[in-house]
Structure 1
């Protein structure tokens, strides 16, 4: 059996609403094995992004613990966790530096988790590597290495965000509806690229999606959240038998 890469134990997240305390996540217990590609479904407000924020440290825990690659990180800062966890957001504008070129963004990502120095970036030595890396996107990104990121299309920018998140293998990859802002054709292309990278690099990945087809077609496991709780957890065998109609029962 694969080792446990991410362990969430008794996770509780609360928020103050006036004088009341509202639970956003309640008793979340989850073991994610190394190499798992898990899709997460749930209504708006079910707690999907809150779960990601609990893992990254962007929201405090009211209870429970987060363990990643054998080390408890519950008290680590978001900055320290970011050395281990890569996240791609829904908005293509997030995750890249808009005024830096594609090559400069890739150079920055190539040093993620390393101590920054004032040494020369030596971009010219890396251009061939970056061109080969960008060519796998199939959207012409390799021809835009010297173009500021803010001038890219949404699909190119999201593809760049994905490359940046995965070029130094993270302990955990979080995809937060990373195709939701794209048109159907571009979304399909980014999903295909995502699946290729996750499989090739044997990444441990959690992906939030509202697209039931993507939830059914990608990954080896499917989890459904509702009102801050895990209400279904399908392994590969059970997931293979699921239909769209089966999933619709969770969306009232």
Structure 2
């Protein structure tokens, strides 16, 4: 199997009161290109810690992390950001509030490039940005000239998704990205998410507490508990799961 992401025996520790406490213990995980993985677990199970280890926001105590053939275990978060895109729970994160929607998209289109004093070229991109924004189905294409801080939570999260996927990342991390939204908006954002991930064949990991979304979306499902992956369901196994099956892991 081709490997897009590989975590090999990854461990993360924290020191509290002169005692070493493991947050992740021996995480082994391999994703093939295009894998779309739902990530479940109770609070404190290690889900966000695993994401932070992948992005470099937390240092691993042991093990290796390989992405698209590159060992990124000890790379700085800024360097990894050229390969990894992440959408957070808070719609306010990941966008520049006082910049317009179009300006945010322009920034995202230049991720990983050296910034220069050259003309922004915003006008030349407007038609393309309008087409992109129209995919969200929430009127974002009509708000390209508006400051991002004036958008609704759903529009802002849709913008975050567009920005994260505009320059195809090697890995897309969705960190409970619908948790702060009402049910109707959450369903809309999940529809946009599924469209972007599947059409672009992106490799994606999605933390969620919505069991229905975990069952409906993606081709794999993993469950974390106490810093370990305790279940890894493939597409066939996942299709046979029910909500009641998943509730057993939250007892």
**Does TM, scored on the shorter chain, surpass 0.5?**
yes
Matches within 5 A, 1:71-110: 71-110=70-109
Matches within 5 A, 1:136-215: 136-215=135-214
Q: Quick one: distance in 2 between partners of 1:14 and 1:76? A: 18
Residue of structure 2 equivalent to 1:37: 36
The answer to whether the aligner puts 1:122 opposite 2:111 as a matched pair is: no
Cα deviation code 1:191-227 (max 9, x no counterpart): 0000001011110000000000000000000000000
Residue 54 (structure 2) aligns with:
55
TM-score, normalised on structure 2?
0.99
Distance in 1, Cα, partners of 2:64 & 2:121: 41
Q: CA deviation at 1:46?
A: 0.3
Distance in structure 1 (CA, Å) of the matches to 2:151 and 2:88: 17
Alignment RMSD (CA, Å): 0.5
The alignment covers a number of residue pairs equal to: 251
Name the SS for the 1:249 alignment partner. Answer: helix
Q: Which aligned segments of 4 or more residues in structure 1 are displaced greater than 6 angstroms?
A: none
Counterparts of 1:87 and 1:250, CA distance in 2: 26
Gaps of 5+ in 2: none
Q: Which TM-score applies when normalising by structure 1?
A: 0.99
**Aligned partners of 1:202 and 1:250: how far apart in 2?**
29
The DSSP-based 3-state class of the residue aligned with 2:178 is: coil
Q: Distance in 2 between matches of 1:115 and 1:24?
A: 36
Partner Cα distance (2:74, 2:25) in 1: 19
Residue 46 of structure 1 pairs with residue 50 of structure 2: no
Matches of 2:166 and 2:199 in 1, distance apart? Answer: 12
How do residues 237-248 of structure 1 correspond to structure 2 at under 5 angstroms?
237-248=236-247
Deviation of 1:45 (Å):
0.3
Q: CA deviation at 1:17?
A: 1.1
Query: In 1, distance between residues paired with 2:237 and 2:67?
Result: 26
Alignment-derived partner of residue 130 in structure 2: 131
Any stretches of 5+ residues in structure 1 without a counterpart? none
**1:119 alignment partner, SS class:** coil
Separation in 1, partners of 2:160, 2:97 = 11
In 1, distance between residues paired with 2:192 and 2:116?
32
Alpha-carbon distance between aligned partners in 1 of 2:68 and 2:241, rounded to the nearest angstrom: 30
CA distance in 1, matches of 2:74, 2:112: 18
